[in-house]
């Protein structure tokens, strides 16, 4: 795994710096040009005081300040779902970096969460259905559920049963707890490459690991008018945006270069790929 180990710039240099567009699994950077907020020293100092809720809000404000969040709705949901509830105890929850969560997996850096939420925002309206493949600690699934509300449905699929169990506990402590209790949010153990047909079709699908090619079951389970965000590639990867048109045809574009671990089997992941 890798993390942001770049030197912290001065305040006057906090504009555009080459930093890692870090992935959910955090094994390596795809260098891109975005504002340098992935500096653990500066962020930890910025968040040194106040409650966890205040620190979470300050983290979101930092992302806004550096142009990584423009959507008011995404700001609202990221302020509502406290990241600290979804990272292991003792880790710096509000630093813009992925965090190891065990089982050769990590939780994404906040700026990657923001990127995916903004790309999917129009497909996460109240009453819509969302699928989170490789749901990990449950953070993004909780965000999806908050956006689609009690009349919608947010499904997390994770092939590590221990992560499924811990993610449910995380969600129970969060602002999305009532959605879990009410049944509009659920997390399941399974092979995310096969999707989750029970609640298909989906308006939004997010995939948190890189596929060599887009799995056909996920395309099949995407609703006409729906959107999927998925990293695709092996050594070189792109975060691809897949739109299913109303006639059933599919349009694909690349959003940015990324580096994710492979979308693979449980056994392969536990063996370190």
Spatial separation of the C-alpha atoms in residues 146 and 179, rounded to whole Å: 8
The domain that holds 104 is classified in CATH as 3.40.50.150
In a domain, 222, yes or no: yes
Alpha helices in the chain (DSSP H): 40-46, 52-65, 72-80, 110-120, 139-148, 161-172, 177-182, 216-220, 266-270
Question: For residue 263, what pLDDT is reported?
Answer: 85
In a domain, 132, yes or no: yes
Handedness of CA 218, 224, 119, 56 (dihedral sign): negative
In a domain, 186, yes or no: yes
Count: domains in the chain: 1
Spatial separation of the C-alpha atoms in residues 137 and 166, rounded to whole Å: 7
Question: In whole angstroms, what separates CA 150 from the centre of its chain?
Answer: 21
Question: For residue 69, what pLDDT is reported?
Answer: 96
* 142 closest CA partner among 128, 162, 123, 156: 156
Question: For residue 153, what pLDDT is reported?
Answer: 98
Q: Is 48 an annotated catalytic residue?
A: no
Over residues 54-66, the pLDDT tens digits come to 999 999 999 999 9
Question: In whole angstroms, what separates CA 14 from the centre of its chain?
Answer: 24
What residues form DSSP beta bridges with 258?
237
Q: What is the mean pLDDT of each run of 10 residues along the chain (273 residues)?
A: 28 31 38 35 40 88 95 98 95 90 88 96 98 96 98 96 97 98 98 96 95 96 98 92 97 92 76 69
Question: For residue 266, what pLDDT is reported?
Answer: 77
In a domain, 19, yes or no: no
Over residues 4-50, the pLDDT tens digits come to 222 233 323 322 233 333 334 443 333 333 333 333 333 443 334 45
Catalytic residue among 108, 166, 167, 186: 108
């Amino acid at each position: 795994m890798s993390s942001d180990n770049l030197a912290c710039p001065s305040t006057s240099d906090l504009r555009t710096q080459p930093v890692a567009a870090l992935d959910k699994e955090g094994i390596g950077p795809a260098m891109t040009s975005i504002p340098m907020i992935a500096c653990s020293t500066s962020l930890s100092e910025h968040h040194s005081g106040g409650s966890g809720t205040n620190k979470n809000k300050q983290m979101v404000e930092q992302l806004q300040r550096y142009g990584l969040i423009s959507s008011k709705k995404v700001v609202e949901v990221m302020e509502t779902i406290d990241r600290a509830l979804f990272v292991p105890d003792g880790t710096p929850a509000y630093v813009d970096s992925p965090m190891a969560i065990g089982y050769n997996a990590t939780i994404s850096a906040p700026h990657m969460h923001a990127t995916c939420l903004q790309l999917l925002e129009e497909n996460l309206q109240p009453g819509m259905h969302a699928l989170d493949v490789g749901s990990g600690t449950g953070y993004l699934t909780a965000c999806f559920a908050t956006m689609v509300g009690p009349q919608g449905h947010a499904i997390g699929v994770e092939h590590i049963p221990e992560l499924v169990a811990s993610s449910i506990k995380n969600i129970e402590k969060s602002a999305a707890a009532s959605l879990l209790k009410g049944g509009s949010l659920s997390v399941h153990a399974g092979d995310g490459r096969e999707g989750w047909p029970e609640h298909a079709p989906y308006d939004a699908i997010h995939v948190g690991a890189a596929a060599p090619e887009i799995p056909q079951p996920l395309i099949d389970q995407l609703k006409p008018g729906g959107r999927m965000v998925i990293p695709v590639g092996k050594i070189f990867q792109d975060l691809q945006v897949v739109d299913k048109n109303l006639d059933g045809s599919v349009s694909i574009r690349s959003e940015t270069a990324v580096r994710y671990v492979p979308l693979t089997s449980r056994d392969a992941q536990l063996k370190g790929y």
